[in-house]
Amino acid sequence: MTIGLFDSGLGGLTIYDSVARRMPDVPIAYLGDNRNAPYGVRDADDIFQLTCSGVEMLWRLGCRLVILACNTASAVALKRIQETWLPADKRVLGVFVPMIEVLTERRWGDQSQPREVDVKNVALFATPATVASRAFQRELAFRAIGVDVEAQPCGGLVDAIEANDDILAEALVRSHVEALLRRMPNPEAAILACTHYPLFQRAFQDALGPKVKCVSQANLVAESLADYLERHPNMLATSGTGGFYTTADAESVSRKATRFLGRKIEFESV
């Protein structure tokens, strides 16, 4: 049995890296739905259907617990998956809530009333579908009051990153940051709510300036998963070999992934 990580493409590898570093003995099966990426410009039904197919593939690969290492799928499809689709013996978790818990100074699963927190102005960078879902604002409102969120849909950025077009990606980061800063000139924190974006964290930080704290999602997710597995040891994978799987051509995805993570990664097509 292995733990499954799912993303529309390569972005979830940023989460994979942190999880593998935090829990080196846990076998992980990573699936990128590269054939259908990007998800961020699709409608909610489409994202739900594609995410369910991806999760089913990971079940067939022997996973009982799947992490949606994709903010778009987490924001748009996770609630519906958990409420309407998930069999009792399986679990699907997302990457959104751990980030919000840290921002709102909460421990995992703290269900107390929403309260005031230090951060008052938050810049949110995400795909158009994540921004349209308003899932971030909804989850935040359960936990904190008085936080102003300005969200910027970063159209085109995932395509540029998947295509390895760094020049275009950096130009898009600058223009999306400028657009947001025109509406919110002094954010205290920035959330890169797409697993592709940490690869361009430096470009975001340069454009935002040194006073803005960029929240790093990957490490938070790895910590929160380790905590979850401690409390749910029956979900802990102890056998299986893991591996990297894609719905697209394995050779070209392996080439991109190797460049993406800066070390050799070999994908298999499913």
The H-or-E segment that residue 66 falls in is strand 63-68
Given candidates 18, 51, 72, 247, which one binds ligand DGL under the rule CB under 6 A?
A: 72
Given candidates 97, 124, 154, 158, which one binds ligand DGL under the rule CB under 6 A?
A: 158
Residues 98, 108: Cα–Cα separation, whole Å: 7
Active-site entry in 63, 154, 194, 214? 194
47-66: which residues touch ligand DGL (CB under 6 A)? none
CB 50 within 8 Å of CB 26? no
111-150: which residues touch ligand DGL (CB under 6 A)? 127, 130
CA angle 175–178–181, rounded 5-degree value: 155
Question: Is 214 annotated in the active site?
Answer: no
CA angle 144–125–216, rounded 5-degree value: 70
6 contacts ligand DGL (rule: CB under 6 A) = no
Question: Is 52 annotated in the active site?
Answer: no
- CB closer to ligand DGL, 37 vs 78: 37
242 contacts ligand DGL (rule: CB under 6 A) = no
37 contacts ligand DGL (rule: CB under 6 A) = yes
Return phi, psi of residue 169, to 5°.
-60, -45
Return the DSSP state at 240. Answer: -
**Count of CB atoms situated within 10 Å of the CB of 64:** 18
Just list the catalytic residues. Answer: 70, 194
The residues of the shown chain that bind ligand DGL, judged by CB under 6 A, are: 7-9, 11, 37-40, 70-72, 127, 130, 158, 194-196
